[in-house]
Amino acid sequence: MKKKLVALTLAAVMTISMAGCGNTMSDEYVTINKYKGLEITEVEKSEVTDETVENTVKSYLTAAPLKTEITDRAAQDGDTVDIDFVGKVDGKTFDGGTASGASLKIGSGTYIGANGDYKGFEEQIIGHKKGDKFDIEVKFPDDYPESTLAGKVATFSITLNGIYEVSNDTEITDEWVKQNSDTAETVEEFKEEIRTKMKENNESTRQSQLQSEVIEALSEQVEVKKYPDGDVDKECQAVEDYYTAYAQQYGLELADFLETYMNMTEDDFKKKAKEVAEESVKKKLACELLAKKKKLEPSEKEYEKKVEEYAEKAGYEDVEAFRKAYDEDTIRATILQEAVANYLLESSVQVEAANTDNSTDGSSSDTTNK
């Protein structure tokens, strides 16, 4: 009986030990104490309502009202014209004086107005037809903000590309849809297109939040043994370079920017930057370990596909421009972290955010990601 009890106890201990080993891993840099069943705050799905779709459609209509091209008459007051122009003062071009495909509503007062014997820019377009090329002269006001142009006479060579009547309709039409959508041809098709895009964007945002949550949860389970030589310093320098460049946009040195906008001394900043750098490197090391042990590293083909996806989401027209904006190590680390996050989410448990207003019994509901 005693021998049987000892055997059962030993079996139980071994089972617990093996279960623990299955949820931990380690290398020379970090130990991950737990990676399965990580608890994260629940992120609710955002509903796309009819009202949301209607408001989005109206914003599109406001940004791009229906334009009807005029080909049977000259430009007149109130028309919207598409023009190219090159402006010169004393025979030389100047900053802001050249444009291609500029949209201008005649009579809006957007461009240089009449000054003394010189007519305004806009009124001199009146009477010209599509395809006309002509020169006009205007005089900058004496109090013009750019002192090198103040009171000067400028000559503009203009090409009139098109004349349009812009509708003030507040309701979207099939005609507007055909003019502004690459795929839809009717209002209903366009609204459905908007609804689909909004659902996709909402889910993408939700997924990003979940990925961020689960990486944070993983980080809490990581113990750092040591950092690779130079990694933390490199991250610290990246943080400092970012804020230095940001300060320059305000015309300030880093120290002045920190004091004025962040209420922080340089010493405080460096201390905080080191904390941020260490946390960043810790996450990177943990993700690399998990990816290696669980074979999550993307193939080169998968990697290239992800780079294309990232470039498109970031608004880059081509992948090479995206690659030039972000260094290769950063791109690879981001893609690897996403793969690890998705793996962790499969076993994670979403927990409702604590309700501080009426939480009396301490109960909460869990939702396991599947």
Establish if 305 belongs to a structural domain: yes
Is there a single domain that holds both residue 246 and residue 308? yes
Pick the closest to residue 146 from 87, 99, 81 (CA basis). Answer: 87
Phi-psi region of 96 (alpha: psi -120 to 50; beta: other; left: phi over 0): left
Give the pLDDT of residue 355.
Answer: 62
Distance between CA atoms of residues 130 and 198, nearest Å = 39
Domain count, the chain: 2
Distance between CA atoms of residues 82 and 294, nearest Å = 58
Q: What is the pLDDT of residues 339-351, one digit of tens each?
A: 999 999 999 999 9
Q: What is the pLDDT of residues 110-160, one digit of tens each?
A: 999 999 999 999 999 999 999 999 999 999 999 999 999 999 999 999 999
User: Per DSSP, what are the bridge partners of residue 160?
Assistant: 83
CATH number at 326 reads 1.10.3120.10
Residue 14 has pLDDT above 70, yes or no: no
Residue 209 has pLDDT above 90, yes or no: yes
16: its two tokens: 């617990």
Q: How confident is the model at residue 182 (pLDDT cuts 50, 70, 90)?
A: confident
Long-range Cβ contact pairs of 83-86 (< 8 A, separation 24 or more)? 83/125, 83/158, 83/159, 83/160, 83/161, 84/158, 84/159, 84/161, 85/156, 85/157, 85/158, 85/159, 86/156, 86/157
Residue-wise DSSP of 10-66:
HHHHHHHHHHHHTT-EE-SSEEES--SS-EEE--PPPP--HHHHHHHHHHHHHHS--
Q: What is the pLDDT of residues 218-256, one digit of tens each?
A: 999 999 999 999 999 999 999 999 999 999 999 999 999
Establish if 324 belongs to a structural domain: yes
Distance between CA atoms of residues 265 and 146, nearest Å = 37
Is there a single domain that holds both residue 115 and residue 206? no
Is there a single domain that holds both residue 152 and residue 105? yes
Residues 6+ apart with CB under 8 A from 214: 38, 40, 341, 344, 345, 348
Establish if 342 belongs to a structural domain: yes
Beta strand extents in the chain (DSSP E only):
25-26, 30-32, 39-41, 67-70, 80-89, 92-105, 133-139, 153-166, 222-224, 349-351, 366-368
Residue 10 has pLDDT above 50, yes or no: no
363 by Cβ neighbours in 10 Å (0-12 / 13-18 / 19+) ranks as exposed
Is there a single domain that holds both residue 234 and residue 311? yes
β pairing state of 39-41 and 349-351 = parallel
- DSSP letter for 186, please: S
Is there a single domain that holds both residue 99 and residue 211? no
Is there a single domain that holds both residue 98 and residue 227? no
Residue 25 has pLDDT above 90, yes or no: yes
What angle do helix axes 187-219 and 266-293 make, rounded to 10 degrees? 100
CATH number at 135 reads 3.10.50.40
Is there a single domain that holds both residue 215 and residue 301? yes
Establish if 5 belongs to a structural domain: no
Distance between CA atoms of residues 164 and 78, nearest Å = 9
Q: What is the pLDDT of residues 60-98, one digit of tens each?
A: 888 888 788 999 999 999 999 999 999 999 999 999 999
Q: Are 83 and 158 in contact (CB under 8 A)?
A: yes
Residue 370 has pLDDT above 50, yes or no: no
Residue 363 has pLDDT above 90, yes or no: no
Is there a single domain that holds both residue 113 and residue 213? no
Is there a single domain that holds both residue 130 and residue 221? no
Give the pLDDT of residue 368.
Answer: 53
What angle do helix axes 254-261 and 266-293 make, rounded to 10 degrees? 90
Q: How far apart are the first and last CA of the chain?
A: 44
Q: What is the mean pLDDT of residues 330-342?
A: 94
Looking at per-residue pLDDT, the higher value among 324 and 222 belongs to 222
Establish if 325 belongs to a structural domain: yes
Distance between CA atoms of residues 233 and 227, nearest Å = 10
Is there a single domain that holds both residue 253 and residue 297? yes
Give the pLDDT of residue 81.
Answer: 96
Establish if 292 belongs to a structural domain: yes
Q: Are 293 and 25 in contact (CB under 8 A)?
A: yes
Give the pLDDT of residue 369.
Answer: 54
Q: What is the pLDDT of residues 261-320, one digit of tens each?
A: 999 999 999 999 999 999 999 999 999 999 999 999 999 999 999 999 999 888 888 899
Distance between CA atoms of residues 43 and 353, nearest Å = 9
Is there a single domain that holds both residue 162 and residue 205? no
Give the pLDDT of residue 366.
Answer: 52
Is there a single domain that holds both residue 93 and residue 160? yes
Q: Are 367 and 40 in contact (CB under 8 A)?
A: no
Listed residues 166, 190, 212: the one ending a domain: 166
Establish if 323 belongs to a structural domain: yes
Establish if 100 belongs to a structural domain: yes
Q: Domain containing 260: what range?
A: 198-351
Q: How confident is the model at residue 12 (pLDDT cuts 50, 70, 90)?
A: very low
